[in-house]
Structure 1
Amino acid sequence: MKRKKLAAFGLVIALTASSSSAAFAAAVPAASNMETTAVQQMDQAEETDTDILSDSEAVELQQEIASYSNDGILLTAAAPSTIGGVATTDIINAAKVMIRKYEGSYSSVNANDNGALSIGKMQWHADRAKSLLRIIISGDAASAQAILGDALYNEILSDASWSKRVLTDDEAKKMRTLLATTQSQLAQDVQENTDVTGYVNDIYNRGIRNAAAVVYLADVENQSGSGGVKTILSYAKNFGNLGDLTLNEIHITTVCYAYTNRNSWINKSEKNRTDFITRRINAYTDASGLGWTYCNAGDYRMPSTSPAVSKIGIQWLQNALNQYQNAGLSLDGSYGPATKAAVRAFQQNAGLSVDGDAGVNTIRELIRRLYFNKAIYGRSEIIGNTVTGLVQDTDGRWVYKVNDKIDTTYTGLASNEYGWWYILNGVLDFSYNGFGRNGDSWWYCRGGKVQFDDNGVIEGTVNGTYGWWKVVNSQVIFDNDVCANASGWWKITNGKVDFDYTGLAQNAGGWWYIHNGAVDFGYTGFGQNGNSWWYCRDGQVHFDDTDVIEGTVNGTYGWWKVVNSQVIFDNDVCANVYGWWKITDGKVDFGYTGLAQNVGGWWYIRNGAVDFDKNSVLEGTVNGDTAWWNVRGGQVIFRSTVADNEMGWWRIENGKVNFGYNGIAQNDFGWWYIRNGQVDFGYTGTVTDGNRTYQVVNGNVNRQ
């Protein structure tokens, strides 16, 4: 049994060491001959006692592989038995645990991981994934072919590059099935041990002697390759000899490395950068928690992704904030109000979301600002270490600082994560109720704060001018409007109540009558807007009043023509409940007697009113023609007839007397003899009309 297991294990190791297609072709049959070759292999396996392992044998083999690893069998000769006083096997095993934590499980498949597949518990990528699959296939080719199918099976054995190979959903499903097999798990264990051992040897050979740093960098090498580690260590030399560096210096350098342009994946997006640094912070927390030396004397453990919660790295954070912004914090390891206030000040200065909790973005930015120039360029200066803005001072006051100094000349508004506040001579004034300036805008404050919910007309001083101001969502609105507060509705001119204004003004609700700046809801009468005058009821123009209405317009009392609430300054004849009226320049002309026109015709006016009882022939001017006109029921009747007045009966043609007419003419009472336009009641005799002669008696023509 021992020989079986070692033979199977030896096959895996041999294939791990080989990368040529020829070696695989020799070891693994093509799919076209699979069935025959599989039988031959089984026969050969029986003869050589290297048959396929049972489940119990596989478990035993896994245990033996672990023991070989612990004995250092798979280590290369380059690494000694200890690094930094820690057994190399312990370092390798710690690195395995860390990498597994951030990668996958045995059956993990990422069909498209940054342009190519990744598989297994270490997420072997692209061509490395293909190499692992060849090893797995070599252990049980028939089963692998059955799981993968001929096409995928043969592709794995081919020379085709998988540098850009992504999987379909069906291929990924098949691959998960293969990766879950016992043979796959054994192969992954061996490959993991080989890879991690290689990482440790590479890092050791590059000069690192701190065990915690080796574990940390092994995860970096698994994620970014040996080239990434090489670049990081080339920068880390700015902190001193690589053999003297601890995990802290390596972690700082790696975070700063993420802000260079040396890694194309990191620079592809800010999300990639954040993901990379988040993993580095988590890896640091794990490596620094192994119980091995991770920093120099006088230094501190660096923060986790949430030091306020985990309590890891608070002293380092406090010390870093003291260095960066002279925070004056005690290095007590307590995430108290002073530390939180200092974090808020840093976040505000750095343009981060301000909440006082030092998360990934805050930690990485603090590392970058403190150490980027040192780590990358070997220079000592730090980045942007001055505070400008509203921060809490060490005495508890909230103050407005410019370049770390309280600006006692500043009075106005300033913001922090809690809102916008009123600053008086550089200090937040919580007792202030009034207006404050921010740039070109003015805002109302209550309790020293812009509440963003104040609406109305509010008393105060804006830009040096006292008054009552229109406020919407706490901001002064410099427009023209009519706005309300508890005392009434007010005419707003350029944002301020205009107490000198009397007339009409508009808001979204309509047009209103204003008296001395206030809407007069008791007012009924006329009001002016520009050159127009409008009728108001209860202080408002209703736009539905059409009438002849009494009131004072432009200083003149009278009765006025109103159409849709507007005074119409024309000449007309208009009605109200009292009658029809002669309008002259918009107003009833009570001194007028004569004829006047509207759209309904021409009317006889007496003392300004239409006289509907008037039936006569009257002298007057109609359409520019001065004549005697037939008026019936107060209206000029434009038809031909014979009509009477107190002076006689008259021949009417198109509404007016024809004084040149001689002959006979008809009205509703009969036919009449006309001489010079007038009925001649004194005539008795005959009259000829055309070819006929009629008898006339007292002017009346007998047409029988």
Structure 2
Amino acid sequence: MEKLKRMPKGTNRTKKACLWLVACGILSLQILLPWQAHAAEAGVTWKKVTQGINEQNQYVYDGNKTDGTMSSRVLEKTSAGIWGYIDRGIVKNTDSILTPNGGGWWHVVNGWVDTSSGVYSTTDGAFEFVDGKLDFMANQTVASYRSQRRYLLDGKVDGAYTGLGTDENGIYWIAQGTVDESYTNVVKDTIGLTNSAGWLCIKKGVFDADADTIAKNENGWWKIRNGLVDFSYNGLAKNENGWFYVQGGKVNFSYNGVAQNENGIWYVANGKVDLGYNGHAYGYYFTGGKVQ
């Protein structure tokens, strides 16, 4: 029998090299295939689907496809230039409601956005709207609602608030969400209306910026200048009840003596000028409370 021919030297080495290259190729293919599949997935294109309201006041998407399940959405009826509230695929005839879409929160009445501006009542409360859109910037301010000036917090009438509020026309005292036109007092500035967080003279619910008088609160009687308590004031000052002796901006009802202003020297009893006093006191002679 013919002997098998011996393979030349180096053939086994060459064979092993070939096997190694084949194995590497298979491994590379296994790695590449998932990557190529992923790359194919990443290449998927998306189509923007239109949404709106058709002539039959139905919800439509992608041109003219209807969906009877679509709810709680505010969309445009392009042909009419108006916006409607979709519920179960059609424009729903609603009460006055507040409802959102991607552009904000809207006032909807009878199924359509009401583009009026002002404060309107909804099933969720009363809100400030500008062209039908909720005005979140109406914050710690006052707006007219049902013949009253009401306090707004983040665009909503806050019926629980008591304190100061403001708008472009002035500063007000609010009681349970409404400007209290019967309120007269000297109150602390708690919302940063003044530079020094001072005390304001409120008269009939409104800050009286022109007030130059003496006014009271539960802490005493105070000298008011330009509507604010003037803690630097010392001397005589008046209101509709007469002239009083003031120290550090506050009437000192314990003071008995004399006090002077540009009109003369006066007799003071218990902090008030006594215009009925006649006689000698403190080294002076008084007639009608004034030194003669």
| TM-score (norm: length of structure 2) | 0.66
1:481 partnered with 2:48: no
Q: Mark the CA change 1:615 to 1:693 in structure 2 (over 3 Å): closer, same or farther.
A: same
Residue 580 of structure 1 is matched in structure 2 by: 149
2:62 aligned to which of 494, 499, 523:
494
What's the offset of the Cα at 1:505?
A: 1.3
Q: Secondary structure at the match of 2:232?
A: coil
What secondary structure sits across from 2:189 in the alignment?
strand
What is the SS of the residue equivalent to 1:504?
A: strand
Structure 2 counterpart of 1:612: 181
The reply to whether residue 598 of structure 1 matches residue 170 of structure 2 is no
Partner of 1:484, secondary structure, is: coil
Distance in 2 (CA, whole Å) between partners of 1:503 and 1:614 is: 45
Determine the structure 2 residue equivalent to 1:623.
Answer: 193
Question: How far 1:545 moved relative to its partner?
Answer: 4.6
Alignment CA distance shift 1:493-1:671 (3 Å): farther
User: Counterparts of 2:142 and 2:120 in 1: how far apart (Å)?
Assistant: 10
Residue 563 (structure 1) aligned with residue 130 (structure 2): yes
The one-letter amino acid paired with 2:75 is A
Provide the secondary structure at the position in 2 that maps to 1:612: coil
- Say if 2:269 is the partner of 1:664: no
Query: What residue number does 1:636 align with?
Result: 207
Cα gap change, 1:658 to 1:565, in 2 (>3 Å): same
Report the AA paired with residue 54 of structure 2.
Answer: C
Which residues of 2 match residues 101-500 of structure 1 at below 5 A?
479-485=50-56, 489-495=57-63, 496-498=65-67, 499-500=69-70
* Aligned partners of 1:549 and 1:562 also within 8 Å: no
In the other structure, the counterpart of 2:89 is 517
CA–CA separation in structure 2 for the residues paired with 1:550 and 1:480: 26
- Paired AA for residue 542 in structure 1: D
**Post-superposition shift, 1:586?**
1.4
Q: Is the 8 A contact 1:643 1:651 kept in 2?
A: yes
Shift of 1:631: 1.0
Quickly say closer, same or farther: Cα 1:645–1:548, change in 2 above 3 A. farther
> One-letter code of the match for 1:563?
V
SS in 2 for 1:613: coil
Alignment size in residue pairs? 219
Aligned to 2:158: 589
1:510-554, CA deviations, whole angstroms, 9 ceiling, x for partnerless residues? Answer: 1212213211124421222314111122111231252142433xx
List per-residue Cα deviations over 1:418-443 (Å, max 9, x = no partner): xxxxxxxxxxxxxxxxxxxxxxxxxx
Q: Is the 8 A contact 2:236 2:260 kept in 1?
A: no
Amino acid at match of 1:663: G
Q: Match for 2:168: what amino acid?
A: V
The 2-side partners of 1:535 and 1:661 are apart by: 52
Amino acid paired to 2:61: T
Counterpart CA distance in 2 for 1:643 and 1:583 is: 29
Cα distance in 1 for residues equivalent to 2:153 and 2:159: 10
Whether 2:240 is the aligned partner of 1:680: answer no
1:588: Cα distance to partner?
Answer: 2.6
* Alignment-derived partner of residue 529 in structure 1: 101
What is the one-letter code of the residue matched to 1:619? K
- 1:628 partner letter: W
Gaps of 5+ in 2: 1-48, 276-288
**Structure with the larger RCO, 1 or 2 (CA within 8 Å, 6+ apart):** 2
Shift of 1:650: 0.8
C-alpha distance in structure 1 between counterparts of 2:258 and 2:204, whole Å: 35
| Contact 1:491 1:497 (C-alpha < 8 Å) held by counterparts | yes
| 2:54 alignment partner, SS class | strand
Q: CA deviation at 1:691?
A: 7.5
Give the 3-state SS of the residue equivalent to 1:681 in structure 2: coil
Residue ranges of structure 1 left out of the alignment (5+ in a row): 1-477, 553-557
Give distance in 1, aligned partners of 2:74 and 2:122: 18
1:693 corresponds, among 260, 265, 269, to 265
Distance in 2 (CA, whole Å) between partners of 1:661 and 1:607 is 35
Computed over aligned residues only, the root mean square deviation of the Cα atoms, in angstroms, reads: 2.6
Task: Tell whether the 8 Å contact from 1:549 to 1:561 is kept in structure 2 after alignment.
Answer: no
* More helix as a share of residues: 1
Residue in 1 that maps onto 2:76: 506
The 8 Å contact of residues 98 and 122 in structure 2, kept in 1 or not, is answered as no
**Alpha-carbon distance between aligned partners in 2 of 1:545 and 1:539, rounded to the nearest angstrom:** 18
Taking only the aligned residue pairs, the percentage that are identical comes to 31
User: Partners in 1 of 2:110 and 2:117 — Cα distance?
Assistant: 13
* Structure 1 residue 645 displacement after superposition: 2.0
Look up the match of 2:16.
none
Alpha-carbon contact 1:548-1:574 (below 8 Å) kept:
no
Deviation (angstroms), 1:562:
2.4
* TM-superposed deviation, 1:616: 0.7
Contact in 1 for aligned 2:70/2:86 (Cα 8 Å): no
Q: Report the structure number with the largest CA radius of gyration.
A: 1
What is the alpha-carbon distance in structure 2 between the residues aligned to residue 593 and residue 545 of structure 1? Answer: 26
Counterpart residue identity of residue 197, structure 2: T
